[in-house]
């Protein structure tokens, strides 16, 4: 089965739940036997529009402080998941900085990106859904609110970003990945 590999970079301030989103997506649930050091840990295949896509997730969790390394992460990414926590306005403000850094590094005016307001299960918010939507509009990207804890909208984040990357690559003339043999519509 032929499949495309997309590199998805998850960025955001420290403590917004980037790693939780990745864990939820890659592992499905929080488990007791857990080894994030294995080679294929951050890879997962998903089906989007009946196509098998292998996602290689580069999560900057834990390495936010190493600024030069962050650059190399961003440079290799095909799509970006920009995460903030709905109970942290600082993390929300940081999204603009991170986006401009991504655009600089990619040397493009528009990069496949999804803005994610995480921890939406928390009642006491600092950032409203409307504020998130408006920021996403200025970023010209999709917006979604999620909760890694409650497993809300986690897969949707990655489906959205894959669609964005695919659309972007098709617009840039990159060859469309082959379809699966007998996928359902």
Contact status, residue 90 vs residue 127, Cβ threshold 8 Å: no
Q: With left for phi above 0 and alpha for psi between -120 and 50, is residue 71 left, alpha or beta?
A: alpha
**Per-residue mark of binding to another protein, 10-39 (x: CB under 8 A):** ----xx-x-xx-xx---x--xxxxxxxxxx
Is residue 25 a contact partner of residue 158, using CB atoms and an 8 Å limit? yes
Site for another protein in 100-159 (CB under 8 A): 104-105, 107
With CB under 8 A as the rule, give the number of residues binding another protein.
38
In degrees, rounded to 5, the angle at the alpha carbon of residue 111 between the alpha carbons of residues 130 and 156 is 55
171's CB contacts (< 8 A; 6+ apart) are none
Nearer to another protein, 22 or 91 (CB): 22
Q: Which stretch binds another protein (CB under 8 A): 40-48, 112-120, 131-139, 167-175?
A: 40-48
- To the nearest whole angstrom, how small is the minimum distance from the Cβ of residue 33 to another protein? 6
Are 47 and 183 spatial neighbours (Cβ–Cβ below 8 Å)?
yes
Binding site for another protein (CB under 8 A): 14-15, 17, 19-20, 22-23, 27, 30-42, 58-59, 61-63, 65-69, 71-73, 75, 104-105, 107
């Amino acid at each position: 089965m032929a499949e495309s590999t997309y590199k998805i970079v998850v960025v955001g301030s420290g403590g917004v739940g980037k790693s939780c989103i990745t864990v939820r997506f890659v592992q499905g649930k929080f488990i007791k036997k857990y080894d994030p050091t294995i080679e294929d840990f951050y890879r997962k295949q998903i089906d989007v529009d009946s196509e098998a896509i292998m996602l290689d997730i580069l999560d900057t969790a834990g390495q936010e402080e190493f600024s030069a390394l962050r650059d190399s992460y961003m440079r290799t990414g095909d799509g970006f998941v920009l995460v903030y926590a709905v109970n942290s306005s600082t993390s929300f403000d940081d999204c603009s900085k991170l986006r401009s850094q991504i655009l600089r590094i990619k040397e493009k005016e528009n990069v496949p990106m999804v803005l994610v307001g995480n921890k939406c299960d928390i009642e006491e918010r600092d950032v409203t859904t409307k504020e998130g939507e408006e920021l996403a509009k200025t970023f010209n990207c999709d917006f979604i609110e999620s909760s890694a804890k409650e497993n809300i909208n986690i897969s949707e984040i990655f489906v959205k970003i894959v669609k964005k990357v695919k659309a972007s690559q098709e617009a840039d003339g990159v060859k469309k990945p082959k379809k699966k043999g007998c996928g359902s519509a």
